[in-house]
Chains A and B, each alone.
Chain A
Amino acid sequence: MSPLVLVFISPLIGSAVLAFMGHHRNGRDINVAFSFLTFLASTFLTARVVAHGPMFALDKQFFIDSLNVFLVTLTALIGFTTSIFSRPYMRIEEERGKMTPNRMRLYFSMYQLFNGCMLLALTTNNMGILWVAMEAATLTTVLLVSVYRTPASLEAAWKYFILCGVGIAQALFGTILLYMAAQRVIGHGLNPLLWTNLNASKGHLNPVIMSLAFVFLLVGYGTKVGLAPLHNWLPDAHAEGPTPISAVLSGLLLNVALYAVIRCKVLTDGALRNHFAGHLMIGFGLLSVLVAAFSLLRQKDIKRMFSYSSIEHMGLMTFAFGIGGPIANFAGLLHMTVHALTKSAIFYAVGHAAQKAGSQMMDQIRGLIKISPTVGWGLMMGTLAILGMPPFGVFASEFLILTSAMRQLPWATPLLLLGLGVAFGAIFSRVQPMVFGETTVKRLPHPPALLPVFVHLGLALMLGLYIPTYLNTWFLQAARIIGG
């Protein structure tokens, strides 16, 4: 069986099995097992792409190239580590009465299905299926966000559903326009919705239709990326759902939505032969960085604070891809990778910290370092990493983004620096007393899963110091695909 097929089959079977077994004592182990299987399949897939180059599967409906293969691996890896983190976390939530057996089944089943949807969105070659997978991912995460059934979580899920539903409807209209432009160019016998076919004849796509299509696609998928001013759903959904879900929302869903935008940008650039798409992305990106940075100042809830930090970083990536060119694209791809790793690590640490304190309010979490040094250090290191301190990977990618901004858009650099500076002050001044300071927190009934935190931070550290050759090659190839 081809590893590509296994990459989807594993979460799908996992979802079905866990729909019946999720409440069982072994449910969380089964969840880890299926996620591990998916991860294993994705590494085989990666090995094959590294060895043989881009590949098609199933009548060209699936397509793997350097741009999506590293995202597939990243998605499977974070899916796997988050499933490890879910084990003790959800167990504690269950013992505290926040989860019933039925909710556990729903949680695990939807967790696997969500992973499957993400992987489908990444590997499909069909722009229509990409839309379907993104919408399905929204549906699964809506159920995950509302899993506690509290008024706040219901409100967050409703907002999420309505806002993302409207957003994704704009993306569907964009896809229809894309299809319309393609039909006029791509002959019979070829499927006009396949990205590879579109890419081959992008120079002939009608520029008028494509520019309108890109606006709709950017607004639509941009809602899911969390770009300002369409970001309102994001902090609520992150704060009110279970913490493992916050980790995968920040680490995976936002990345995959940005990936969809990038695929559309490649086509639009080819059709328009100007910088229209890039300018739009620069504008949205810059606005998101600034809006998020200043919103950070007002936060009291720890998960809300880090979700605004996600908006800031997604804005930074969108900005980088908007600038385009090999260096900025490289920086954007690197930032996607390190942000996903670091932010999910932070959420793991935050999850346990909030469980210890019994609250997500930052002024009630104090002195983590005294009662459990590992959680405290994990949170501190993660925070330093996400704020762009060397030697972590975020420093390298932010440095590259800033230097390419300085070269190509000098006026934007002070704005970016302002955003990053404000974010630094806002986050660091709040995390510092949470980690150090007088303690009030209690011990957890089960040992927290801290291995994922340090694995992720270790990877982010490694990427800051040294990027392996094959990863470097992928990033360079992917940067070339994105072009601009």
Chain B
Amino acid sequence: MTELSIQLVNLFASFLLMLAFAMLAQRRVLTLINLYSLQGLTVVAATTVVAHMTHQEHLYYSAVLTLILKVFLIPWILHRLVKRLNVRWDVETLINIPSTMLVGIVLVVFAFNLALPISRLSSSVVPGTLGIALACVLLSFMMMIMRTKALPQVIGFLAMENALFFAATSATYGMPMVVELGIALDVLVGVFILGVFLFQIREQFESLDISHLENLKED
């Protein structure tokens, strides 16, 4: 039973990593949102398995919270944003996807090496997952740097938060409930603020291209 659970968590972890790569290479905004919601669902599944395995009741609550927030509510807000901003069919020109992927692989190797000494020490049931979580954080970070449009940048930010949540669940069986509630609240409020921002940016710059936001310079 436990053996199966460990395998399942590892499976979900690798699934997360795959989704992180998929998001890195995805050009279309709508697909990006769907990938984000799928990522949320994977995190929920992993959390539920860990909760079942370790009999940590509060993990069930955080799984439910994540399900509501990151699988339904935030993707729904994002879909509405896409509709109202009328960027539904936007396709981003990404330069050189293959080399992006290669850099991504280097990041994964780096993250694994960084987390290796800790994974060895970890008393957690699933030691390898911390490296994967860190790799997902770095990949989302890279996605935020590479993108030139505002909305994919926001999704990169949210994906990073998902990876962090997965790190907390798999390495420490979740943070205390009050902290997790606080983080969830911050993320939700953050999405609302960013949503409002997107409208204002478009109003001011007549575009959601971040490359317009480069007027503030040193001189």
Chain A residues at the B interface, C-beta cutoff of 8 Å: 126, 128-129, 131-132, 135-136, 139, 142-143, 146, 149-152, 154-159, 161-162, 165-166, 169, 172-173, 175-177, 179-180, 183-184, 191, 193, 206, 208-209, 212, 236, 239-240, 295, 298-300
Contact with A along B121-163 (1 / 0, CB 8 A): 1111000000000100100010010000010010001001100
Contact of A298 with B216 in the complex, beta carbons under 8 Å: no
Contact of B213 with A128 in the complex, beta carbons under 8 Å: no
8 other A-B residue contacts (CB within 8 Å) besides A156-B216, A172-B164: A139-B186, A142-B193, A151-B204, A155-B216, A166-B160, A169-B160, A180-B122, A209-B118
Contact of A129 with B178 in the complex, beta carbons under 8 Å: yes
Tell me the complex Cα distance, A142–B201, Å. Answer: 14
Contact of B179 with A161 in the complex, beta carbons under 8 Å: no
Contacts of B214 in A (CB 8 A): 155
B215 at the interface (CB under 8 A from A): yes
Most A Cβ at <10 Å: residue of B179, B186, B189, B216:
B216
Nearest to A304 among chain B residues (CB) is B218
Interface secondary structure of B, over-half rule: helix
Contacts of A298 in B (CB 8 A): 218-219
Contact of A158 with B201 in the complex, beta carbons under 8 Å: yes
For the complex of A and B, the 3 pairs showing the least CB-CB separation, nearest first, are: A128-B179, A132-B182, A155-B213
Contact with A along B51-87 (1 / 0, CB 8 A): 0000000000000000000000000000000000000
Contact of B216 with A159 in the complex, beta carbons under 8 Å: yes
Stretch in B6-14, B40-48, B95-103, B166-174 with 4+ CB within 8 Å of A? B166-174
Contact of B204 with A179 in the complex, beta carbons under 8 Å: no
Contact of A299 with B218 in the complex, beta carbons under 8 Å: yes
Contact of B164 with A176 in the complex, beta carbons under 8 Å: yes
Contacts of A136 in B (CB 8 A): 182, 186, 189
The contact of B172 among A165, A179, A208, A295, by CB within 8 Å, is: A179
Contact of B186 with A146 in the complex, beta carbons under 8 Å: no
* Closest Cβ–Cβ distance, residue A425 to chain B (whole Å): 18
Tell me the complex Cα distance, A209–B118, Å. Answer: 6
Contact of A193 with B179 in the complex, beta carbons under 8 Å: yes
Contacts of B137 in A (CB 8 A): 169, 173
B194 at the interface (CB under 8 A from A): yes
The contact of B219 among A132, A206, A300, by CB within 8 Å, is: A300
* Closest Cβ–Cβ distance, residue B177 to chain A (whole Å): 10
* Closest Cβ–Cβ distance, residue B112 to chain A (whole Å): 13
Tell me the complex Cα distance, A150–B183, Å. Answer: 30
Tell me the complex Cα distance, A295–B194, Å. Answer: 30
Interface secondary structure of A, over-half rule: helix
* Closest Cβ–Cβ distance, residue A174 to chain B (whole Å): 10
26 residue pairs from A and B, CB less than 8 Å apart: A126-B176, A129-B182, A139-B189, A146-B200, A152-B215, A154-B197, A156-B216, A158-B201, A158-B210, A159-B213, A161-B190, A166-B144, A169-B137, A169-B160, A173-B137, A176-B167, A176-B172, A177-B118, A177-B171, A180-B118, A180-B122, A180-B171, A184-B123, A191-B176, A193-B179, A209-B118
Contact of B219 with A149 in the complex, beta carbons under 8 Å: no
Contact of B194 with A161 in the complex, beta carbons under 8 Å: yes
* Closest Cβ–Cβ distance, residue A57 to chain B (whole Å): 15
Q: How many residues of B contact A (CB 8 A)?
A: 45
Nearest to B167 among chain A residues (CB) is A176
Contact of B157 with A154 in the complex, beta carbons under 8 Å: no
Contact of B164 with A162 in the complex, beta carbons under 8 Å: no
Most B Cβ at <10 Å: residue of A131, A177, A206:
A177
Contact of B167 with A173 in the complex, beta carbons under 8 Å: yes
Tell me the complex Cα distance, A193–B179, Å. Answer: 10
Contacts of A236 in B (CB 8 A): 216
Contacts of B193 in A (CB 8 A): 139, 142-143, 161
Contact of B189 with A149 in the complex, beta carbons under 8 Å: no
Contact of A132 with B179 in the complex, beta carbons under 8 Å: yes
* Closest Cβ–Cβ distance, residue B107 to chain A (whole Å): 14
Contact of B176 with A165 in the complex, beta carbons under 8 Å: no
* Closest Cβ–Cβ distance, residue A276 to chain B (whole Å): 15
Nearest to B179 among chain A residues (CB) is A128
* Closest Cβ–Cβ distance, residue B78 to chain A (whole Å): 16
Contacts of B178 in A (CB 8 A): 126, 128-129
Contacts of B109 in A (CB 8 A): none
Contact of B172 with A180 in the complex, beta carbons under 8 Å: yes
Contact of B179 with A126 in the complex, beta carbons under 8 Å: yes
Contact with A along B182-219 (1 / 0, CB 8 A): 11011001100110010011001100001001111011
Tell me the complex Cα distance, A265–B216, Å. Answer: 34
Tell me the complex Cα distance, A300–B144, Å. Answer: 31
Tell me the complex Cα distance, A209–B183, Å. Answer: 23
Nearest to B203 among chain A residues (CB) is A149
Contacts of B175 in A (CB 8 A): 128, 175-176, 179, 193
Tell me the complex Cα distance, A149–B202, Å. Answer: 12
* Closest Cβ–Cβ distance, residue B97 to chain A (whole Å): 22
Nearest to A300 among chain B residues (CB) is B219
* Closest Cβ–Cβ distance, residue B157 to chain A (whole Å): 5
Contact of A166 with B197 in the complex, beta carbons under 8 Å: no
Contact of B121 with A208 in the complex, beta carbons under 8 Å: yes
Contact of A206 with B121 in the complex, beta carbons under 8 Å: yes
B18 at the interface (CB under 8 A from A): no
The contact of B144 among A142, A162, A299, by CB within 8 Å, is: A162
Contacts of B186 in A (CB 8 A): 132, 135-136, 139
Contacts of B160 in A (CB 8 A): 166, 169
Tell me the complex Cα distance, A196–B27, Å. Answer: 48
Contacts of A180 in B (CB 8 A): 118, 122, 124, 171-172
Contact of B216 with A161 in the complex, beta carbons under 8 Å: no
Q: Within residues 85 to 120 of chain B, which ones have a CB less than 8 A from any CB in chain A?
A: 114, 117-118
Tell me the complex Cα distance, A175–B179, Å. Answer: 11
In the complex where A179-B175, A236-B216, A295-B218 touch, is A128 in contact with B182 (Cβ < 8 A)?
yes
